[in-house]
Amino acid sequence: MAKELAHFKNFAKLKDTKVAFNDITVIAGKPGTGKSYVMKMMYALDEGKHKTTLQSLDSLNKALKEVLSVVSADDDASRELFKEKVNQYKNLHAEEKNNIESKFQLNVDNITTSIFKNLEQISINFEITRNDIKLSFNKKLKVQVISKVFTNKKDNLSASVLSETIPDMAIFVETPLILEFYKFMDKTKNKTPYHIESLMNVLKEDYSFPDEEEKNFIDSFISKSKEIIQGDIHSDGDSFSFEKDGKIYDIINASSGTKSIGLLQYLVTNKALKKGSVLYWEEPEVHLHPEWQLRMIELFVELMNAGVKIVFSTHSPYMCDYLNAISKKQKFSDRVSFNLFKEEEEDVVENYILENQKDWNKIQAELLDPLEEIMWEYV
């Protein structure tokens, strides 16, 4: 069973349908059915939560440092200052808890506006319910928190901010060619859509030192990806290069497929993709040979086993079939959700959550029948 269902009403061509999300989520279908819209909106919610939690924790950490700066002093003035700082911290803590939902609303609003520019191009009136969040749009975006989405153990603001509280990071890949375009892109803040700017920021960072478990995962993942592309992706800060057989090539001279697998490799190398993060990837098959499409699925499974959630859209029957087959063989099919977006009538898309072999025939028909029809014209 799917871990989470999101309900879409009047969202682009999705008039009234649910989409299943899981540890690996597949959204398949023909072009123009709304796959990209759905992924970007779900990314905005995930990233909005991530950004909101970071902002609140940052404020609390600054206040806590002020408390700790006077904690060891032993004179009356210092003790009074300590009490004052503690009270300030408690007041800020309460304020952050009260304001966190309004901050979340503002962040989601800013992110969606940056990504979509004009939400009325999606629909003049839509509603999305996902788990504990209800998002609606009628000339103005409104985010309603049905129950507390910020109260799980990982990012609960009442937990000690001294603990390693790192909210989930969401990453959206629209094209792996960003490795090639990176040095030419305008990196001025707010000059590019949020999901692209955010990915550029991720690519220039090297995140926290991994623990032993993460290090073993990184080493294993690099070994598997290197086996596919026969090399490694490196960054010098301003651009990327591809190292193969001891030779270093400018990334522009690497194949598109190499950039695709290489981008995934690099996101693991710089520790952006790790337990708790969410990866959104639009049509990963676009730059890949059919064999490499299957290898990409294997890398996605490797990420899933390390605690990374994957959401990807696709037109590829190869990727769908292979993921379906290995999830059954390796007994993790309950961690994968397949969604098929199908336009049943003009401008009305229905999503089919594929749960058995009869359902599976629908995805084969939707993705392969057009090819068979063309083939039969020439036979």
Q: What is the pTM of this model?
A: 0.86
Within-domain flag for 251: yes
Q: What is the pLDDT of residue 155?
A: 41
Judgement on whether residues 106 and 22 belong to the same structural domain of the protein: yes
Within-domain flag for 298: yes
Q: What is the pLDDT of residue 195?
A: 95
Within-domain flag for 363: yes
Which class for 136: exposed (0-12), middle (13-18), buried (19 or more C-beta within 10 A)?
middle
Domain encompassing residue 209: 172-275
Judgement on whether residues 25 and 156 belong to the same structural domain of the protein: yes
Judgement on whether residues 310 and 162 belong to the same structural domain of the protein: yes
Q: In DSSP terms, which residues pair with 25 in a beta bridge?
A: 311, 337
Among the three residues 250, 275, 300, which one is the final residue of a domain in this structure? 275
Judgement on whether residues 11 and 128 belong to the same structural domain of the protein: yes
pLDDT in tens for each of the 379 residues of the chain?
Answer: 457 899 999 999 999 999 999 999 999 999 999 999 999 999 999 999 888 877 777 666 666 666 566 655 566 666 666 666 666 666 666 666 667 788 888 999 999 999 999 999 999 999 999 888 899 999 899 988 765 545 444 444 333 333 334 457 899 999 999 999 888 887 777 789 999 999 999 998 887 777 888 889 999 999 999 999 999 999 888 899 999 998 999 999 999 999 999 999 999 999 999 888 999 999 999 989 999 999 999 999 999 999 999 999 999 999 999 999 999 999 999 999 999 999 988 889 999 999 877 788 888 888 877 666 666 666 5
Judgement on whether residues 320 and 369 belong to the same structural domain of the protein: yes
Domain total for the chain? 2
Judgement on whether residues 165 and 176 belong to the same structural domain of the protein: no
Judgement on whether residues 190 and 242 belong to the same structural domain of the protein: yes
Judgement on whether residues 335 and 370 belong to the same structural domain of the protein: yes
What are φ and ψ of residue 198, in 5° steps? -65, -40
Among the three residues 244, 275, 306, which one is the final residue of a domain in this structure? 275
